[in-house]
Amino acid sequence: MFYDRAKIYVKGGDGGNGCIAMRREKYVPFGGPWGGDGGRGGDVIFVADEGLNTLQDFRYKKHFKAQRGGHGMGKNMNGPAGEDLIVKVPAGTVVREAETGRLIADLVEDGQRVVIARGGRGGRGNVHFASGTNKAPRIAEKGEPGEELWVELELKLIADVGLIGFPNAGKSTFISRVSAAKPKIADYPFTTLVPNLGVVSAGEDRSFVLADIPGLIEGASQGVGLGHEFLRHTERTRLLIHVVDTAGTEGRDPVEDIKIINRELELYDPRLAQRPQIIAANKMDIIPQAEENLARIREAFGGQYEIFPVSAATGQGLHAVIQRVAELLEELPKIEPEQPEEERVTVFKPEGRFNIKRDMDGNWRVTGKEIERHVAMTYLEEEEAVERLQRIMKLMGLEQGLVDAGVKEGDIVRIGNWEFEWTQ
């Protein structure tokens, strides 16, 4: 099956916890701290693979988590770093943050890599917190949580040329004639339910990738029919071949068909309406209707597009189309991939240091990536570590902020998944 959309959850590995340990050796009365650091969590990395052409695998597996870092140990031994999780996606996959729609990456080149969720850094062991006034600290850091987010994947096939046109215009027959693609062909609308790709040889070491886009109909840009599901696959093409039923075998007017399809392209994305286009006037083997309509097509569009009379069923005129397409592609620049507007914001980058609000039950809720990170990395069971957290909160201005907000003795203050009782 062909799937070109998916929504998945990704999480970088948490950092390993730093260790609280003291050096205890015979004849060493004042050994001091000896706790090692935690290892860094692994990243979730997407890699473009041109051997893939569908997002079907993400239909069954939707959660991807990298390995967490190992915990620090005594004797000042650091924990190992977590392994990165490599996730292969088809070349042409666009990755967006599900919640905001923000572009994260556009993977178009085979082997292109991008970190989607970064692993957390390892917590520091207590050896880092020794000082002249505290030579045996019982303070260490827990590992930093890895980034986590839901992302939407959208596949846009990478093809040089796109075949567009109404259902039964002959696009599938066209691509089967000029390439090794074997699409399903039948004499009824919407035979083609998924895009088909074929490599076309134009001789002299020239070739290009051709995509057969399932038939568009009027209203496709608004979601009518099947074509709207696949219009995105025309966005990367450099040239469009507009296949039209010149004989009008379906009872439609070929001149009006061209106008309708071009209007749908413009409504979907105005840039597509500006894309270079040639018209393949198909079914020329059916006369005299085809000859009469070809003259009308030339009269209506001859000054705007190159028009080639062809018959996909017999092969008539196809060689001339392919040669002209190859010539045009040598002149046309490649479509540049989308670029993120700004560098991706990491999970714990502070945007405003904190926010204070009341929960429905009347207790206090403090939010903010920076403060939530500090709490998550604190050993709350260790008195010295909690004292250090309190100093950090005071320096951040959180303590005064709660007082100004009206917090009272005995109130519950929630930060992330933790609850604290407020005391003066």
Known binding residue 191? Answer is yes
More confident residue, 51 or 2: 51
User: The whole model's pTM is what?
Assistant: 0.77
Q: Give pLDDT, residue 29.
A: 65
Known binding residue 313? Answer is yes
Cα–Cα distance between 295 and 297 in angstroms, integer? Answer: 5
Mean of the per-residue pLDDT values of the chain: 86
Known binding residue 312? Answer is yes
pLDDT per position as a tens digit, 155-175: 888 889 989 888 888 888 898
Known binding residue 169? Answer is yes
Known binding residue 151? Answer is no
Which class is domain 161-331? Answer: alpha beta
Known binding residue 247? Answer is no
Known binding residue 215? Answer is yes
Q: Give pLDDT, residue 222.
A: 54
Pick the CATH number of 355-422 from 3.40.50.720, 3.30.300.350, 3.40.50.2300, 3.30.750.210: 3.30.300.350
Known binding residue 35? Answer is no
**Model confidence band, residue 308 (pLDDT cutoffs 50, 70, 90):** very high
Choose the weakest-confidence range: 178-192, 298-312, 406-420.
178-192
Known binding residue 165? Answer is yes
- Please determine, for residue 333, whether its predicted confidence score (pLDDT) is greater than 80: yes
Percentage of the chain modeled with pLDDT above 70: 89
Which class is domain 5-155? Answer: mainly beta
Domains of the chain, by residue range, sit at: 5-155, 161-331, 355-422
Report, as an integer, the average pLDDT of 344-368: 72
Cα–Cα distance between 78 and 40 in angstroms, integer? Answer: 10
